[in-house]
C-alpha cells in the first residue's frame, strides 16, 4: 500500500488546514487508517464504529487483539452515543482537562462501537486531544476514532511523523505531518467506573492535578509492583523498547560511570541516557542527553526520540539514569521501566 504524506502547519487558521484535513477525514470515512499528530504522541486513527477499520489498526501495528484502543472524539456530545452515563467525577475531569492528555474509562453502551476496538470489554476509554490538527480531523470526520500510538507494537511511541514513517510506511493509507508533538508521553488513563477514580496509566496529566479536581484518586497496584496483573490490558506488554537492552541505574554518576567502564572492559559498546545537566560527565560510546532534569517536561518531550536514537547506533546495551516519580516524572519512570523490561540496577 502506498502511504500518502501531508504536511500541515498547526499554527495556521483552521480553514487553511482544510484541504489536507478533509482528505484525511475522507479516508477515515472510507474505513482506511491514517496517522495524525496529537499533543501527546502521533496516533493511528480508524473508524471506531467499523470492525474492518479497527482491525486494520491492529494489523498495521502488530498489536495484540486483547489490548483495547482509546476512542478519540472532537466534540463533547459524541460521548453520549457510546457511554452508558457520565458519572459526576468524570464530568468534572472532562471539564477541567478536555481537550487534553487525559483518557477516561466509562461503562460502554453495547452495540455502539466496534467490539474489536474495545477488545470485548464492557468499558470504553475516551479522550479528546488538545491539538488543532487532531481536533480538525476528528470534527471533520464526525466519527469516534480509535487511535493508539502510531508505532509498531513494542517500539517507542512516535513523536514525529518521521518516526511513524519508519514504523508504518507501506502499512497505512496516510500520515499527516504536523511537526513534533508537545508533551511526548501518552495520556493518563483514569478509570471512572467506580466511586473513587483510579489511575491505570500515568501520563501527561499528573496525579496531583487530578486530585485537585476530584479529591481522592487511587492508583492501580500493578503500577507500583511489576508482578500484579494490571487492570489496563495494555500495561502488561513490553513497550517502548529500543533494540539494545536497557538498564535503569538507580545510583549516582560515579557509580554509573564505573558500570560503563566495566562493560567496556568486557568489550561491549555502551550507550548512556542522561540529561543536559549530566551529559559532560560521562565517558561512553554514545551519550544522549534527553531534556533537562530541572524541568521534567523537557525529558518527557524527548524520551521516545532518545530511545529510538540508540537504534541508529551499534551500542550493545543502554544504561539510563532514573528520575523522581513525581509530577510527569511518574509517567517518565513508568515508560522507562517498561522499556527496560524492569531491569533496574539498584
Binding footprint of ligand AMP on the chain (CB under 6 A): 67-70, 105, 118, 121, 123-125, 148-149, 186, 189, 200-201, 232-235
Residue 149 binding Mg ion, by CB under 5 A: yes
Spatial neighbors of 101 by CB under 8 A, at least 6 apart, are 39, 40, 127, 129, 130, 183, 186, 187, 188, 203, 204, 205
Strands (E), 26-76: 34-36, 43-47, 70-72
The least distance separating ligand AMP from the CB of residue 98, rounded to whole angstroms, comes to 16
Cβ–Cβ under 8 Å, residues 73 and 130: no
Question: Considering the complex, what minimum distance in angstroms separates the CB of residue 142 from ligand AMP?
Answer: 22
Q: How far is the CB of 147 from ligand AMP (least distance, A)?
A: 7
User: Considering beta carbons, is residue 189 or 300 the nearer one to ligand AMP?
Assistant: 189
Mark 18-56 as b/e (b = at least 16 C-beta within 10 Å): eebbebbbebbeebbbbbbbbbbbbbbbbbbbbeebbbb
* Burial class, 230, CB count within 10 angstroms (exposed 0-12 / middle 13-18 / buried 19+): middle
Smallest distance from ligand AMP to CB 185, Å = 10
**With respect to ligand AMP, which residue has the nearer C-beta, 110 or 262?**
110
Residue nearest to ligand AMP (CB): 234
Q: Which is nearer to ligand AMP, 218 or 233 (CB)?
A: 233
Q: Which is nearer to Mg ion, 214 or 241 (CB)?
A: 241
| Residue 274 sits in the site that holds Mg ion (CB under 5 A) | no
153 binds Mg ion (CB under 5 A): no
The C-alpha atoms of residue 180 and residue 228 are separated, in whole angstroms, by 35
Residues in touch with Mg ion (CB under 5 A): 148-149
Amino acid at each position: 500500500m502506498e502511504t500518502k504524506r501531508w504536511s500541515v502547519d498547526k499554527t495556521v487558521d483552521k480553514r487553511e488546514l482544510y484541504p489536507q484535513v478533509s482528505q484525511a477525514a475522507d479516508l477515515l470515512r472510507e474505513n482506511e487508517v491514517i496517522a495524525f499528530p496529537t499533543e501527546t504522541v502521533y496516533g493511528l486513527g480508524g473508524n471506531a464504529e467499523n470492525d474492518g477499520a479497527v482491525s486494520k489498526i491492529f494489523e498495521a501495528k502488530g498489536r495484540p487483539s486483547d489490548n483495547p484502543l482509546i476512542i478519540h472524539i472532537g466534540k463533547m456530545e459524541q460521548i453520549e452515543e457510546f457511554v452508558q452515563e457520565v458519572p459526576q467525577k468524570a464530568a468534572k475531569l472532562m471539564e477541567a482537562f478536555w481537550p487534553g492528555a487525559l483518557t477516561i474509562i466509562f461503562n460502554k453502551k453495547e452495540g455502539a462501537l466496534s467490539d474489536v476496538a474495545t477488545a470485548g470489554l464492557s468499558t470504553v476509554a475516551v479522550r479528546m486531544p488538545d491539538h488543532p490538527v487532531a481536533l480538525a480531523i476528528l470534527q471533520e470526520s464526525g466519527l469516534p476514532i480509535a487511535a493508539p500510538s502510531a508505532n509498531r507494537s513494542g517500539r517507542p511511541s512516535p513523536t514525529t511523523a518521521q518516526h511513524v514513517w519508519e514504523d508504518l510506511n507501506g502499512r497505512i493509507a496516510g500520515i499527516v505531518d504536523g511537526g513534533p508533538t508537545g508533551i511526548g508521553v501518552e495520556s493518563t488513563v483514569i478509570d471512572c467506573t467506580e466511586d473513587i477514580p483510579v489511575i491505570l496509566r500515568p501520563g501527561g496529566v499528573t496525579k496531583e492535578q487530578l486530585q485537585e479536581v476530584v479529591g481522592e484518586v487511587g492508583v492501580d497496584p500493578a503500577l507500583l509492583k511489576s508482578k500484579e496483573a494490571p487492570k489496563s490490558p495494555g500495561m502488561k506488554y513490553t513497550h517502548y523498547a529500543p533494540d539494545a537492552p536497557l538498564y535503569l541505574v538507580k545510583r549516582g554518576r560515579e557509580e554509573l560511570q564505573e558500570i560503563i567502564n566495566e562493560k567496556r572492559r568486557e568489550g561491549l559498546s555502551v550507550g548512556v541516557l542522561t540529561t543536559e545537566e549530566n551529559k559532560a560527565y560521562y565517558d561512553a560510546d554514545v551519550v544522549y542527553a534527553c531534556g533537562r532534569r530541572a524541568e521534567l517536561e523537557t525529558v518527557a518531550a524527548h524520551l521516545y526520540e532518545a530511545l529510538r536514537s540508540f537504534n541508529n547506533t551499534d551500542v550493545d546495551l543502554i544504561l539510563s539514569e532514573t528520575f523522581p516519580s513525581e509530577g510527569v516524572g511518574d509517567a517518565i519512570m513508568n515508560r522507562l521501566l517498561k522499556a527496560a523490561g524492569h531491569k533496574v540496577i539498584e
